[in-house]
């Protein structure tokens, strides 16, 4: 029971790191980016290629897994995404679905369709007992790393000039540009960091769920649940939503495997019906 | 201008809206002659006709009422499984099965329509996607009924009207699908020129004003969502009956995305877009999957990206513009003539 | 004259902010009434409560003596309360012909009809022609609304509301944003509205208010400052203070 809860928390933390970038793109740029998972996959495959094929230690592969999608994200933001900010949600959806399809096929072409896993160092494997509870070392590592990242993000958002500008821009883009804030730079950097975090999440998730080319499609709904249920106004909303989703998903699959994905889909539909603005935002 | 001077212009203008344009007649002549002119292509023509009907269904909610759906395949797939199961376990007659598939899908559409009323585009995207995923999961888990990941096999249809057997060349199948498409198109066309259809356009353009002229917005959206579901149910039934098979990919996200692309290629909001898009899409698919069998979705993705970057309006003007320009030239339209007087 | 529209103790709060407080006002059948007040007085919030866009925190709205406080906007329209918007809210992809025909059809209760084409019923053509003529839209009936000049869109804005054949018509700054050259057409159309229609004009432009209205209600900080005939209100020192004060600042 506690082990399931523990695994659920680790999974939830992972989902948060994977999805928090999407929450910013949605809140800040009002852009529905269904291709977010493609960036996560890029990071995941970067980790797989480095650790499993090139023999680079896993911990050194992680920064690369952040940088690769961050750079791709920055380039795409400047060249393509930025042209679509003012467009209808339908256009954004079609565009990002197109990107997903291209990413899936590209991954299939280069990485084949079987599941692949990054190679972990020995010290991250195995289980340890703390207070009589068995815990996977890697899951503990995930919780610790994602926890640090969350605190770091919160610190940046609350404590820095950039963070306050970012929050101003999320609250009201017109106000932000009226204050002389360079919205373009903020968009670019948050998009790149968000994509990088997704890539890092993808690299960390590789060991847990395995990477295959359909990753962006399989997890699209999870990311969307995190941002719609958690809202886009704060970091705590998506965090709590991620943890709930992670625990519900792991617990559901453990205790009632026959129900499969029903629990989370039903959960999402019910939440959206009761609170279309998300669970943790005040209705406007 | 006084009322009596305007009367004829108003009457003509309203009549001209729903008048059949010669280009429409030509379109259907070509469609029906394809049955005789392309005898070796009946199988793919059948698929085109079914995809066209599915696209018309999406057009009814997206193009007419402005509801964005990421999970329209839910209704196609539900109709397909309903018709296939009905044929396998209850009655193999195609028309009775078609009725069954359609009615059950209509019910599903009605129930889920209440879910899309709430919230904005994004919540609608999520809800429609969620419903489709839920059904996909359901079909996957109920293996004893649906065959799970292997698909539902062993569906055998009785001859159409007791006379025409479904042959392996798709002759009966295409005739059946094409005629059904035409009938459904006539219904959709009639709906689109009715006051109900016009009120949907109004809701799409501005729902605040729509309610300010007395339109009960939610009730109209429920109605059109249900109607669109029944259209998709017909398409799904046809698909299962003519292929004598139903599999999980009829419920997949790719199916929902494909039909959006179909509508985007042809242009939304005038019914013919879905049909023209279906032709283009199937030809593209045929060609691309011959070129790179495994990776053809890459090209589909690329096409989507390019279309959006060029601009959907400009893109579909290539197709829809031709139709629209014909319509504008109809002499009964009050605009230019009356303008000269004023 | 009978009272057609009435508010009783209407109140609206947004959190701690009071946008409408204990607002009581009456609109008599057939009259030309203006609602004025400085920016931020709560006029738009009041309109939104009258038409059902916003639910009031407390109080009632009565139309022809019937309590309509909890009805949806479309239900109020069908009971005879129509409005125009300060910023055009039109169906940009439709033509004026379609827009007016739709409004007339909805009013006649045929909006649900999904089989009969628009305009196939007796009477619709006549009425659309009458409205198009009244609002000078006859020469642009077949053009898309989005392509019309602003002044014409403004006329259509009033025409659509009028097509609902309301007992009470709320005009929210009908001439706002219209270039001087086209202004006259709109003022004329407003002046020529038939007497069966009771008009509540929400306006900033004092020339327009004094030339059109018979009675005036002045709203300040969400509450009614005073109400009376044009003469009474224009000589009320409190009103002068409010407006002169505003002029000083702005």
Q: Cβ of C72 and B216 within 8 Å?
A: yes
Contacts of B63 in chain C (CB under 8 A): none
- Beta carbons within 10 angstroms of residue A42's beta carbon: 27
Check residue B321 and give its pLDDT: 53
Instruction: Give contacts of B15 with chain C, Cβ < 8 Å.
Output: 119
Give the pLDDT score at B108. Answer: 96
Q: B40 with C166: CB under 8 angstroms?
A: no
Query: What per-residue confidence (pLDDT) applies to B28?
Result: 95
Question: Residue B90: CA atoms inside 13 Å, Cβ hemisphere, count?
Answer: 11
Q: Is C171 helix (H, G, I), strand (E, B) or coil?
A: strand
Rounded Cα distance, A108 and A115, in Å: 11
Question: Which residues, in sequence order, are bridge partners of residue A135?
Answer: A128
- A25-29, A99-103, B153-157, B192-196: which has the minimum mean pLDDT? A25-29
Nearest CA in chain C to B63: C93
Is B264:B311 a contact under the CB 8 Å cutoff? no
A272 φ, ψ (degrees, to nearest 5): -65, -30
Residues A42, A21: Cα–Cα separation, whole Å: 15
∠ CA C171-C177-C180, rounded to 5°:
105
A chain contacts of residue B149, beta-carbon cutoff 8 Å? none
Q: Is pLDDT at B336 greater than 70 in this prediction?
A: no
> Which runs of consecutive H residues, i.e. helices, occur in A85-126?
89-111
**What is the pLDDT confidence band of residue B181, given thresholds at 50, 70 and 90?**
very high
Interface mutation target, options B261, B308, B316, chain A, most CBs of A under 10 Å? B308
8 Å CB contact of A102 and B130 = no
pLDDT of A112: 82
With tokens 């969502």, the residue in question is B225
> Taking 70 as the threshold, does the pLDDT of residue B220 lie above it?
yes
Is the CB of residue B215 less than 8 Å from the CB of residue B203?
A: yes
Q: What is the pLDDT, as a whole number, of residue A228?
A: 81
The CA distance from C126 to the nearest CA of chain B, in Å, is: 6
Q: Is the pLDDT of residue B293 over 50?
A: yes
- State the total domains in chain B: 1
C-beta separation of C16 from C222 below 8 A:
no
Q: Which residues of B touch C75 (CB under 8 A)?
A: 216
* Predicted local distance difference test score (pLDDT) of residue A209: 86
| Per-residue pLDDT at A20 exceeds 50 | yes
Contact A97, B257 (CB under 8 A): yes
Determine whether the interchain pair A260/B140 forms a contact, defined as Cβ–Cβ distance below 8 Å.
yes
Q: Return the minimum-mean-pLDDT range out of A169-178, B75-84, C126-135, C179-188.
A: A169-178
ipTM given for this complex: 0.86
pLDDT for A84-115, tens place per residue?
Answer: 887 888 889 999 999 999 999 999 888 888 88
Q: Delimit the domains of chain C by residue range.
A: 3-249
pLDDT value of position A283: 41
**Token digits of residue A172:** 């009201």
Residue C15's pLDDT band (cuts 50, 70, 90): confident
Which two structure tokens, joined as six digits, stand for C250?
């702005």
Task: Choose, out of B5, B6, B203, B329, the residue to mutate when testing the contact with C (most C CBs < 10 Å).
Answer: B6
Q: Are the CB atoms for B124 and B66 separated by under 8 Å? A: no
Q: Do C119 and B190 touch (CB under 8 A)?
A: no
Residue C208 is predicted with a pLDDT of: 83
pLDDT at B72 over 90: yes
pLDDT digits (tens, 9 = 90+) for C168-209: 999 999 988 888 888 888 888 998 999 999 999 998 878 788
Residues of B with Cβ-Cβ distance to A109 under 8 angstroms: 294-295, 298
pLDDT in tens, A223-265: 888 888 887 777 888 888 899 888 888 888 788 777 767 777 8
- Asked if the Cβ–Cβ distance from B211 to C77 is below 8 Å, we say yes
| Averaged confidence pLDDT in chain C | 87
pLDDT for residue B339 is more than 50: no
Distance CA A146, CA A201 (A): 9
> Which 3 state secondary structure label does DSSP give C156?
helix
- Give the confidence band of B315 by pLDDT, cuts at 50, 70, 90: low
Edge-to-edge strands of the sheet including C168-172? C81-83, C168-172, C198-202, C32-36, C215-220, C223-229
Q: Count A/B contacts: CB-CB distance under 8 Å.
A: 124
Q: Give the model confidence (pLDDT) of B123-145 as tens digits.
A: 888 889 889 988 998 898 888 88
For residue A112, count other CB atoms closer than 10 A to its CB.
11
Q: What is the pLDDT of residue A185?
A: 83
Chains sharing 3 or more CB pairs under 8 A with chain C: B
Q: What is the mean pLDDT of residues A258-276?
A: 77
Give the C-alpha separation, A173 to A183, whole Å.
Answer: 8
Measure CB to CB from residue B14 to each of C78, C101, C164 and give the nearest one. C101
Confidence category of residue B332, pLDDT binned at 50, 70, 90: very low
Q: Distance (Å, rounded) from C-alpha B64 to C-alpha B51?
A: 18
Which residue has 């256009």 as its token pair?
Answer: A91
* Closest partner CB to A105 (pick from B253, B295, B308): B295
Better pLDDT: B216 or B9:
B216
% of chain C surpassing 90 pLDDT: 44
Check CB contact under 8 Å for C140 and B209.
Answer: no
Q: Do B129 and A90 touch (CB under 8 A)?
A: no
Nearest to B305 among A99, A266, A276 (CB): A99
Mean pLDDT of B172-190: 95
Bridge partners of A116, per DSSP, are A211
C3-249 fold: Rossmann fold (3.40.50)
Phi, psi of B78 (to 5 degrees): -60, -45
- Identify the closest residue of chain A to B261 by CA–CA distance: A94
CB-CB under 8 Å, B335 with C143: yes
pLDDT band with cut points at 50, 70 and 90 for residue B317: low
Half-sphere exposure of C42 (CA within 13 A, CB side): 26
Structure tokens at B113: 């329509």
**Residues of chain A with C-beta less than 8 angstroms from the C-beta of B138:** 262
- Topology adopted by domain A2-113+134-274: ABC transporter involved in vitamin B12 uptake, BtuC (1.10.3470)
Q: Look at the block and give the residue holding tokens 């602003």.
A: C150
Find, in chain B, the residue whose alpha carbon is nearest to that of C160. B213
Flag whether pLDDT at B29 surpasses 90.
yes
Which chains are within 8 Å of B by 3+ CB pairs?
A: A, C
CB contact under 8 A, B205 and C94: yes
Average pLDDT over chain A, rounded to an integer: 84
What value does the CA radius of gyration of chain B take, rounded to a whole number of Å? Answer: 21
- pLDDT confidence band for C1 (50 / 70 / 90): low
Residue A166: per-residue pLDDT: 76
Cβ–Cβ of B115/A98 closer than 8 Å?
Answer: no
Query: A75 CB contacts (<8 Å, ≥6 apart)?
Result: none
Residues 6+ apart with CB under 8 A from A153: A20, A235
Chain C CB contacts of B192 below 8 Å: none
Q: Which chains touch A (3 or more CB pairs under 8 A)?
A: B
Helix (H) or strand (E) holding C227: strand C223-229
Give phi and psi for C211, each to the nearest 5: -80, -20
- Separation CA A153–CA C246 (nearest Å): 47
Give dist(CA C197, CA C204) in Å, integer: 22
Cβ–Cβ below 8 Å for C78 and B214: yes
B5-14, B223-232, C18-27: the lowest-pLDDT one: B5-14
The whole-number pLDDT of residue B85 equals: 94
Residues in chain B with CB shorter than 8 Å from the CB of C119 are 10-11, 14-15, 17
Picking from B1, B15, B341, the nearest residue to C133 by CB comes out as: B1
Give the pLDDT score at C185.
Answer: 86
CA dist., res. B225 & res. B106, Å (int): 9
Q: Tell me, what's the pLDDT at B316?
A: 56
Q: Using 50, 70 and 90 to split pLDDT, how confident is the model at A124?
A: confident
Which of B52, B109, B53 minimizes the C-alpha distance to B78? B109
Q: Beta C223-229 vs C215-220: how paired, if at all?
A: antiparallel
Q: Which of residues 165-204 of A touch B (CB under 8 A)?
A: none
Q: Nearest-CA distance from A33 to chain B in Å?
A: 11
* Residue-level pLDDT at B338: 36
Q: How far apart are CA C105 and CA B201, in angstroms?
A: 14
Mean pLDDT over each residue of chain B, to the nearest integer: 86
Question: What is the tens place of the pLDDT at every residue in B250-292?
Answer: 999 989 999 999 998 888 889 999 999 999 999 998 888 888 7
Give the confidence band of C246 by pLDDT, cuts at 50, 70, 90. low
Mutation target vs C (from B11, B18, B209; most C CBs, 10 A cutoff): B209
> With contacts defined as CB-CB under 8 Å, which chain A residues touch B72?
none
pLDDT the model gives residue C38: 82
The residue with tokens 């999406």 is B58
Compute the nearest-CA separation of B251 from chain C (Å).
Answer: 30
The predicted structure's pLDDT at residue B33: 93
Are C77 and B342 an interchain contact pair (Cβ–Cβ within 8 Å)? no
Q: Residue B331's pLDDT is what? A: 38
* Domain, as residue range, for B91: 3-341
* pLDDT confidence tier of residue B10, bands split at 50, 70 and 90: confident
> Which of C73, C85, C88, C154 is the best substitution to test chain B (most B C-beta atoms within 10 A)?
C73
C-alpha distances out from residue A271 to A205, A243, C76, Å: 26, 15, 31
Pick from A102, A106, A276: CB nearest B123: A276
Question: Within a 10 A sphere around the Cβ of C49, how many other Cβ atoms?
Answer: 24
A66-87 tens-digit pLDDT: 999 999 999 999 999 988 887 8
Share above pLDDT 70 across residues of chain B, in percent, rounded to a whole number: 89
In the three-class reduction of DSSP (H, G, I as helix; E, B as strand; rest coil), residue C72 is classed as coil
* Nearest-by-Cβ selection for B119 from A99, A260, A276: A276
Min mean pLDDT across A56-60, B168-172, B314-318 is at B314-318
What pLDDT score does C249 carry? 43
pLDDT(C158) > 50:
yes
Residue of A93, A104, A108, A232 to mutate for B, most B C-beta atoms under 10 A: A93
Measure B37 CA to nearest chain A CA, in Å.
35
Q: Which residue of C has its CA nearest to B338?
A: C139
CB contact under 8 A, B195 and C106: yes
Question: Confidence class of residue B333 from pLDDT cuts 50, 70 and 90?
Answer: very low
pLDDT of B145: 86
Q: What is the DSSP string of C22-35?
A: EEEEEEETT-EEEE
Nearest to C125 by CA among B17, B328, B209, B324: B17
Closest CA to A28 of A189, A180, A159: A189
Q: Do B7 and C129 touch (CB under 8 A)?
A: yes
d(CA C250, CA B113): 50
Residue A30 in tokens: 């009002």
Alpha carbon separation from C62 to A145, C59, C69, C75, C198 (Å, rounded): 62, 10, 7, 13, 15
């Amino acid at each position: 029971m506690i082990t399931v809860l523990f695994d659920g928390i680790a999974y939830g933390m992972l989902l948060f790191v994977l999805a928090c970038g999407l929450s910013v793109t949605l809140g800040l740029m009002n852009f529905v980016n269904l291709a977010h998972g493609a960036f996560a996959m890029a990071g995941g495959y970067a980790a797989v290629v480095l650790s499993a094929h090139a023999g680079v230690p896993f911990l050194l592969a992680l920064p690369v897994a952040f940088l690769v999608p961050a750079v791709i994200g920055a380039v795409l933001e400047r060249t393509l995404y930025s042209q679509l900010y003012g467009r209808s949600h339908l256009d954004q959806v079609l565009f990002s679905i197109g990107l997903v399809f291209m990413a899936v096929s590209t991954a299939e072409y280069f990485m084949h369709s079987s599941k692949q896993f990054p190679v972990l160092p020995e010290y991250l494997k195995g289980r340890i007992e703390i207070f009589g509870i068995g815990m996977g070392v890697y899951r503990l590592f995930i919780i610790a790393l994602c926890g640090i990242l969350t605190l770091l993000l919160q610190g940046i958002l609350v404590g820095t000039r950039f963070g306050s500008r970012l929050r101003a821009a999320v609250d009201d883009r017109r106000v932000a540009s009226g204050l002389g804030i360079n919205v373009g730079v903020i968009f670019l950097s948050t998009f790149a960091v968000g994509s990088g975090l997704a890539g890092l999440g993808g690299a960390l998730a590789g060991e847990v769920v395995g990477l295959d080319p359909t990753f962006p499609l399989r997890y699209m709904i999870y990311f969307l649940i995190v941002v719609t249920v958690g809202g886009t106004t704060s970091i705590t909303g998506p965090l709590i939503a991620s943890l709930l989703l992670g625990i519900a998903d792991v617990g559901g699959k453990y205790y009632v495997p026959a129900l499969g994905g029903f629990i989370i889909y039903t959960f999402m539909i019910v939440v959206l019906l009761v609170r279309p603005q998300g669970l943790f935002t005040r209705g406007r | 201008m006084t009322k009596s001077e305007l009367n004829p212009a108003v009457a003509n203008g309203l009549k001209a809206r729903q008048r059949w344009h010669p280009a429409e007649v030509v379109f259907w002549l070509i469609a029906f002659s394809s049955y005789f002119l392309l005898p070796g292509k009946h199988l793919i023509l059948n698929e085109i006709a079914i995809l066209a009907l599915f696209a018309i269904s999406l057009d009814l909610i997206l193009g007419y009422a402005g509801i964005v759906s990421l999970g329209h395949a839910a209704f196609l797939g539900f109709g397909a499984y309903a018709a296939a199961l009905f044929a396998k376990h209850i009655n193999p007659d195609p028309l009775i099965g078609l009725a069954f598939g359609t009615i059950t899908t209509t019910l599903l559409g009605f129930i889920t329509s209440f879910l899309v009323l709430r919230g904005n585009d994004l919540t609608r995207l999520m809800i429609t996607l969620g419903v489709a995923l839920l059904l996909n999961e359901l079909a996957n888990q109920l293996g004893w009924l649906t065959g799970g990941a292997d698909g539902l096999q062993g569906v055998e249809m009785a001859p159409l009207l007791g006379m025409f057997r479904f042959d392996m060349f798709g002759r009966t199948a295409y005739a059946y699908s094409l005629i059904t498409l035409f009938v459904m198109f006539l219904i959709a066309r009639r709906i689109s020129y009715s006051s109900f259809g016009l009120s949907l356009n109004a809701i799409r353009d501005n729902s605040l004003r729509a309610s300010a002229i007395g339109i009960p917005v939610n009730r109209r959206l429920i109605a059109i969502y249900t109607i669109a579901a029944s259209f998709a149910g017909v398409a799904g039934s046809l698909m299962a009956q003519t292929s004598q098979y139903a599999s999980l990919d009829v419920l997949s996200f790719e199916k929902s995305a494909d039909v959006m692309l179909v509508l985007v290629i042809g242009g939304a909001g005038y019914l013919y877009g879905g049909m023209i898009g279906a032709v283009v899409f199937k030809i593209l698919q045929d060609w691309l999957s011959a070129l790179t069998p495994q990776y053809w979705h890459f090209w589909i993705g690329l096409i989507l990206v390019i279309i959006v970057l060029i601009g959907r309006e400009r893109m579909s003007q290539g197709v829809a513009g031709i139709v629209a320009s014909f319509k504008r030239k109809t002499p009964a339209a009050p605009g230019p003539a009356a303008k000269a007087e004023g | 004259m009978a009272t057609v529209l009435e508010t009783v103790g209407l109140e609206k709060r947004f959190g701690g902010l009071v946008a409408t407080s204990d607002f009581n006002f009456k609109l008599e059948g057939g009259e030309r009434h203006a609602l004025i007040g400085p920016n931020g007085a709560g006029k738009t919030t009041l309109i939104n409560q009258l038409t059902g866009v916003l639910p009031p925190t407390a109080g009632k709205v009565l139309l022809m003596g019937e309590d309509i406080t909890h009805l949806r906007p479309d239900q109020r329209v069908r009971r005879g309360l129509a409005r125009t918007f300060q910023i055009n809210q039109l169906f940009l992809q439709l033509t004026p012909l379609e827009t007016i025909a739709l409004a007339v059809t909805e009013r006649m209760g045929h909006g649900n009809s999904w089989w009969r084409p628009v305009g196939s019923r007796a009477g619709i053509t006549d009425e659309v022609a009458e409205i198009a003529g009244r609002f000078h839209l006859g020469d642009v009936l077949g053009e898309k609304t989005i392509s019309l000049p602003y002044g014409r869109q403004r006329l259509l804005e009033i025409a659509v509301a009028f097509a609902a054949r309301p007992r009470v018509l709320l005009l929210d700054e009908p001439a706002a944003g219209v270039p001087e050259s086209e202004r006259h057409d709109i003022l004329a159309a407003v002046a020529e509205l038939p007497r069966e229609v009771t008009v509540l004009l929400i306006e900033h432009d004092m020339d327009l208010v004094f030339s059109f209205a018979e009675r005036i209600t002045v709203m300040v900080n969400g509450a009614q400052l005073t109400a009376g005939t044009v003469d009474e209100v224009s000589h009320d020192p409190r009103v002068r203070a409010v407006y002169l004060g505003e002029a000083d600042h702005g």
